[in-house]
Structure 1
Amino acid sequence: MATQKLYAGVKLRELRGRIRLTQKDFAQKLGISLPYLNQMENNHRPISAGVVLALAQEFGQDVTELTSGDSERIVTDMREALADPVFTAPPPLADLRLAASNAPGLARAFLDLHRAYRQTHERLASLDEALGRDESPLAPSPWDEVRDFFHYCDNYIDAIDRAAEHFATAQGPDMPVENIALATLKRLRIHLTLSNNDEMRSFDAETKNLRLSGRVSATTRRFQLLHQIALLTQNDLLEATLDLAQFHSPQARGIAKIGLANYFAGAALMPYTAFLQAADRERHDLERLSDLFGSSIEQIAHRLSTLQRPGAKGVPFFFVRVDQAGTVTKRHSATRFQFARFGGACPLWNVHQAFEMPGRFLRQLAETPDGVRYVCLSRDVSKSGGAFGAPVRRYAIGLGCEIGHAEKLVYADGLDLRGRFEPIGISCRICERPDCHQRSVPPLEKRLLVDPNRRGVVPYGIGTTDSAP
């Protein structure tokens, strides 16, 4: 295994400054040339083993100090910061190591600047949502722009939803939608094959060959089939919808087109009218609906969050999916419940506990800082790789509605709706609860009360006035 080269120019300059030697005298004592020392001090060359030995013998230098300090920590922090979508082309790792070791002050200044940017971005985002503004002074990433598009549509796209319903029901309610999709492929002279690889779907327009993975579950394969049907038969409708959305970049438009095709697939698997009636009849029992429509629990929960057709609305739900790190990977809300744009979901929310109890539905009565109360449901969802040794993707989904709709949910049965509601928030940075035992960072908008002689759950108090002077 190759040994990592040692760049420690800052440490060399610091040592030379402490012993008050010029570069020429320092180079002589180390037995190297002046240009070679200059290159090492400026991190143009790594420190050689001979120089490390000379430092130890001539100056009693602890060589471990050359690799200690904040250098690697700064590199790690910069890598995380540069993962922000605002940076389109992060520099290579070697450059980050050079910056951390040769210019740590500049690296720390960059980290401070990025931290201030994220805090400002989150503050503006929260204000935008509170004030109902349509745009932010800071342009969102393509991914965030698309998520906001679906969010502000209440996660319901009427024209595509109706087109999917017509596609699934035009030949009668008893015709399975998968049979309709296969007949459509035959009409378009597209050949379907099953592959034995990890790629879920691949379509070659020239050869008219559609390949679906045989490793994924039947529900996923059916969904991917209908996704491709949407691209093949509904392209004009998808493009017209994208034109109306007026995305800021071709990347956002491309991501949105995938989202719209996914929307069509879900709406075709679960046609609006039939699904709404079944949801009411089954009192939104996800397992019963999964059996009735041949869809996964996650697909059912996601579809429930889209039932917002004018004149025929269902229960307004929020839907979220998080990974094991707590990162929100999907979020939709037809309720007043909002999700943080940056960071993970509130740790007091039961969606995080779902990983600890796989296969079980967890129920929670929760209250957000605005006083709105919700019935929350969560469950883990695992996505198998389809073969031994293949990685399993693990997520948890959360679904909920305001307490006024509790009687329509089978999951509310037996809960004390007048009992205690868990105080959950959106993001610590914009949550003003002063006594939360899970708070990770102070709120942005409130003044901190710091007293070294007092310690509560967190090492500071939260004032009642704004932080601004």
Structure 2
Amino acid sequence: MATQKLYAGAKLREMRTRLTLTQKDFAAKLGVSLPYLNQMENNNRPISTTVVLALAQEFGMDVTELSTGDSERLVSDMREALADPVFDDTMPPLADLRLTASNAPALARAFIALHRTYRQTHERLASLDEALGREDARIQASPWEEVRDFFHYCDNYIDAVDRAAERFATRANDAGGIRSTAIDSLGERGIRVQFVDIDETRKYDADSKTLQLSSRTAPQTQVFQLLLQMALISQDKLLEATLDFAKFQSDEARAIAKIGLANYFAGASLMPYGAFLAAAQEYRHDLELLSNRFGASIEQVAHRLSTLQRPGAKGIPFFFVRVDQAGTITKRHSATRLQFARFGGACPLWNVHRAFETPGHFLRQLAETPDGVRYISLARDVSKSGGSFGAPVRRYAIALGCEVRHAEALVYADNLDINNASAYEPIGISCRICERKNCHQRSVPPLERRLSIDAHTRGTLPYEVT
């Protein structure tokens, strides 16, 4: 099989800029000519093995960064945007989209943002009668989507916050436990922590400096909420500096992101990077063993596994997603080539939807996407009790997966017939951009293809994709 050529001009330019080197000086350090470097930075030539080795030896670069990053996400997001009916059948070739993502990522992001604004405008116009007469009726980016995209394009890894959480976890381990250390940390600031019977999961009163945590919730939830509140108070400067860097467009987005960063700190404190990565490798990513080891929930463990993207110490590239009973994606991240639909639900053939049928059990699936990449996917329900009779139960399902080439590192791949092509179920991303012609679960035709309709013949679909 021919080796895939590596084009990463944008990454190369980014690194040179970060090192404040001219093209001439950078070329000299890499041992290549100036014209050759210029061609690589503009993706006219692939990055050679010699250059890859020089990057690692001369600059200590994690060369896996060259083949990862925003490109695949940008291509996926552009394809989904271009599948919007407003573009009719003007879908550019995939090669053009990849060139745009590699050579002009800022332009690609601007296009995606423009399409997102168009969609939001369209949706607001559809319900204009509700907005008439309101003084605050205005068109702006959805704060929730803006925050989601921030974490999405950070690879769901925030280095400064992650390392601060790891330092706290080390101190807590030396002091006798993370729960007591967090309580002591708040106590040093005059804050009392109470575990009481309340409806809210967590409630902090700044005036009385009292933090109340619900005694109805699971111990893992109590500790997580304790760490979250501690992060909001003790790590405020760090969180605010990170938010300044993100440059959110609205106060609402900034407020949502701050909670997201505090959640990140809490998870990274419970499962500090180095110790968690080592344990994940030792346990072959067994979620239950990791849950018991770190006192975290199954969902928290799965989410944490998807954040192990620290340069120089990366874990397996996982995708992680959470869906509700309607199939709507409520959390998503992917460090793999599989990218989730930004709008709507996930592919109905994916095992995450079946997890609601078998509560308390892990479902395994071998799946193949239209681009020929094969994955192993793990799904499980994570329904959350309201804590009392009659209280609403929040029902979700999560999926965690990676490319099948990492199967040996996963306990969940044991006894699966990974070498049998027929064992892989065909899944897609979104019906509008999925190229499968005979999917029995297809809801709408693919916009990139023409249709042939015969009123006298009915196959799997009421039309034929040509």
> Same-fold call, TM > 0.5?
yes
Q: Deviations over 1:123-174 (max 9, x none)?
A: 99x9998643223213352211111111111110000000000011125457
Report the alpha carbon displacement of residue 120 of structure 1 after superposing the two structures with TM: 4.4
State the match for 1:307 in structure 2.
308
Report the alpha carbon displacement of residue 204 of structure 1 after superposing the two structures with TM: 1.5
State the match for 2:350 in structure 1.
349
| Cα separation, 1, equivalents of 2:276 and 2:142 | 34
Report the alpha carbon displacement of residue 118 of structure 1 after superposing the two structures with TM: 6.3
TM-score, scaled relative to structure 1: 0.71
The one-letter amino acid paired with 1:209 is T
Matches within 5 A, 1:35-184: 119-120=85-86, 131-132=100-101, 133-135=108-110, 136=112, 137-138=114-115, 139=117, 140-172=141-173, 175-184=176-185
Report the alpha carbon displacement of residue 294 of structure 1 after superposing the two structures with TM: 0.5
Q: Deviations over 1:154-197 (max 9, x none)?
A: 11000000000001112545732111101101111101122323
**Which range moved further: 281-290 or 449-458?**
449-458
Q: Deviations over 1:174-225 (max 9, x none)?
A: 7321111011011111011223232111111121111111221111111111
Report the alpha carbon displacement of residue 411 of structure 1 after superposing the two structures with TM: 0.2
| Cα separation, 2, equivalents of 1:331 and 1:224 | 21
- The secondary structure found in structure 2 opposite 1:366 is strand
Contact 2:83/2:447 (<8 A) preserved = no
Judged with a 3 Å threshold, the aligned counterparts in structure 2 of structure 1 residues 296 and 456 are, in CA distance, closer, same or farther, namely: same
Relative contact order higher in (CA < 8 Å, ≥ 6 apart): 2
State the match for 2:438 in structure 1.
435
Contact 2:83/2:433 (<8 A) preserved = no
Contact 2:175/2:181 (<8 A) preserved = no
- The secondary structure found in structure 2 opposite 1:284 is coil
Q: Equivalent pairs: percent with the same residue?
A: 65
Contact 2:83/2:432 (<8 A) preserved = no
- The secondary structure found in structure 2 opposite 1:363 is strand
**Which range moved further: 213-222 or 395-404?**
213-222
State the match for 1:206 in structure 2.
207
Contact 2:192/2:210 (<8 A) preserved = yes
The one-letter amino acid paired with 2:176 is M
| Cα separation, 2, equivalents of 1:285 and 1:295 | 13
The one-letter amino acid paired with 1:142 is P
Judged with a 3 Å threshold, the aligned counterparts in structure 2 of structure 1 residues 404 and 233 are, in CA distance, closer, same or farther, namely: same
CA RMSD of aligned residues (A): 2.3
State the match for 1:219 in structure 2.
220
Q: Deviations over 1:318-338 (max 9, x none)?
A: 000111111111101111111
| Cα separation, 1, equivalents of 2:370 and 2:456 | 29
- The secondary structure found in structure 1 opposite 2:340 is coil
| Cα separation, 2, equivalents of 1:284 and 1:323 | 24
State the match for 1:194 in structure 2.
195
The one-letter amino acid paired with 1:225 is L
The one-letter amino acid paired with 1:383 is K
Judged with a 3 Å threshold, the aligned counterparts in structure 2 of structure 1 residues 129 and 395 are, in CA distance, closer, same or farther, namely: farther
The one-letter amino acid paired with 2:177 is P
Q: Does residue 244 of structure 1 match 2:245? A: yes
Q: Does residue 332 of structure 1 match 2:333? A: yes
Judged with a 3 Å threshold, the aligned counterparts in structure 2 of structure 1 residues 173 and 376 are, in CA distance, closer, same or farther, namely: farther
Q: Does residue 454 of structure 1 match 2:457? A: yes
Q: Deviations over 1:370-390 (max 9, x none)?
A: 111101000111101111121
The one-letter amino acid paired with 1:455 is R
Judged with a 3 Å threshold, the aligned counterparts in structure 2 of structure 1 residues 442 and 453 are, in CA distance, closer, same or farther, namely: same
The one-letter amino acid paired with 1:426 is I
State the match for 1:399 in structure 2.
400
Judged with a 3 Å threshold, the aligned counterparts in structure 2 of structure 1 residues 215 and 395 are, in CA distance, closer, same or farther, namely: same
**Which range moved further: 216-225 or 290-299?**
216-225
The one-letter amino acid paired with 1:444 is L
The one-letter amino acid paired with 1:432 is E
| Cα separation, 2, equivalents of 1:384 and 1:172 | 30
Report the alpha carbon displacement of residue 451 of structure 1 after superposing the two structures with TM: 1.5
Q: Deviations over 1:415-462 (max 9, x none)?
A: 011112111000111111111111011112221222212211111111
Q: If you compute each CA radius of gyration, which structure gives the higher value, 1 or 2?
A: 1
